[in-house]
Amino acid sequence: MANIGFCVTISGRDKEKNKRIKNARENIFHLKNIPFPSSIQVADSFENIGGQDVYLFAIPTNFLRSTFEKSSMSFSKNASFISVIKGIEYTSLEFPSEILKDIFPQINDENLAVLSGPNFAREVAEKKPTATTIASKNEELVKKLINLFSSDLFRSYGNIDIKGVELSGALKNIYAIAVGISDGLGIGHNARSALITRGMAEIMRLGKEVGANPETFLGLSGYGDLILTCTGDLSRNRNVGLYLGQGKDYHQYLEENGSIAEGVFTVQSIMKMARKYMVEMPVATEVYRIIYEQKNVHDSLKTLLQREPKDEFY
């Protein structure tokens, strides 16, 4: 947005980090060596951001409720809200859009949208061509936002299926970990392709139960984001999987990289959701067992390959 002339104010949960980012004029923690345009301002805290036309939330799911529940943040009367958050809250099994509506009385289906797609932040910041999906139950809001979030290098497409877009954005991180494990084991491109495809089968199976539109999973926020996150070297979730596939654990990844990938948390929520809807998700189950039950990655591979034969579209 800042690159196409809009005034943007940003802030984060950590006030000390906000100060360091403000002084450096770049995100020294996650997007080093990409200076901010002059149109970007950094606020010391969320409470100092007011009077905006559009608010975009990018807080990790596990910290979203705790960050804002006691916040005194106020919004302009006719503001629009966008979530780019990927995940599912474990305790409630709510998606980020639902959590935002819980927290803020002003946020509702008419002024809320979600943005999700094959969008590595660094490539967007480096002004590389990107496409994304913006979904809202309010079709007029979708039209407004896809025009707002479009430029010569950033193309937005509209959708009204918030649930499908958020489900895709959350689950693709789990299968990126699975593909990372496969690549870490060095078992080939055939295995990688199979995991991506069967991962999407699991996403669609669960999506059907929660009322998502099947076509959503074939779009940018579905297969587009899944393929990128599973194969792109900038993917934190894929890199966690590489660590696991090489015989390490995610604690080592955390020590070396400073932040854990969203899929590590999301797989807990998905196991709970799969039980709730009685949906079979064998690949996600093995990722969970490797991370939280320390199951050997070779044993998980054997479990998947030795499952009872079934119809492909079961």
Condensed to tens digits (0 to 9), the pLDDT of residues 106-127 reads 999 999 999 999 999 999 999 9
Q: Which residue has the higher pLDDT, 261 or 84?
A: 84
The region of weakest confidence among 70-79, 87-96, 111-120, 152-161 is: 70-79
Q: Taking a C-beta distance cutoff of 8 angstroms, is the pair 85, 60 a contact?
A: yes
* Structural domains of the chain, ranges and CATH numbers in brackets: 2-162 (3.40.50.720), 169-305 (1.10.1040.10)
The region of weakest confidence among 49-53, 65-69, 295-299 is: 49-53
pLDDT reported for residue 49:
81
The region of weakest confidence among 64-78, 143-157, 179-193, 237-251 is: 64-78
Mean pLDDT of 160-171: 98
Mean pLDDT of 202-224: 97
Mean pLDDT of 234-244: 95
Q: Which residue has the higher pLDDT, 162 or 44?
A: 162
What pTM was estimated for this model as a whole?
0.94
Catalytic residues: 172
Q: Which two tokens stand for residue 307?
A: 């499952």
pLDDT reported for residue 46:
83
pLDDT at 40 over 60: yes
pLDDT reported for residue 4:
59
Mean pLDDT of 285-304: 97
pLDDT reported for residue 2:
53
pLDDT reported for residue 296:
96
The region of weakest confidence among 176-180, 257-261, 268-272 is: 257-261
pLDDT at 288 over 70: yes
Mean pLDDT of 199-225: 97
Mean pLDDT of 19-29: 91
pLDDT at 43 over 70: yes
pLDDT reported for residue 307:
95
pLDDT band for position 38 (cuts 50, 70, 90): confident
Mean pLDDT of 248-257: 81
pLDDT at 241 over 80: yes
Minimal CA–CA distance to 35: which of 45, 46, 22? 22
Strands 130-135 and 112-116 come out as antiparallel
pLDDT at 257 over 90: no
Mean pLDDT of 179-194: 97
DSSP track, the chain? -GGGT--EEE--S-HHHHHHHHHHTS-TTTSTT-PPPTTEEE-SSGGG--S-SEEEE---HHHHHHHHTT------TT-EEEE------TTT---HHHHHHHH-TT--TTTEEEEESS--HHHHHTT--EEEEEE-S-HHHHHHHHHHT--SSEEEEEES-HHHHHHHHHHHHHHHHHHHHHHHHT--HHHHHHHHHHHHHHHHHHHHHHT--GGGGGSIIIIIHHHHHHH-TT-HHHHHHHHHHTT--HHHHHHHHSS--HHHHHHHHHHHHHHHHT---HHHHHHHHHHHS---HHHHHHHHHTSPP--TT-
pLDDT at 8 over 60: yes
How many whole angstroms separate alpha carbon 23 and alpha carbon 137? 39
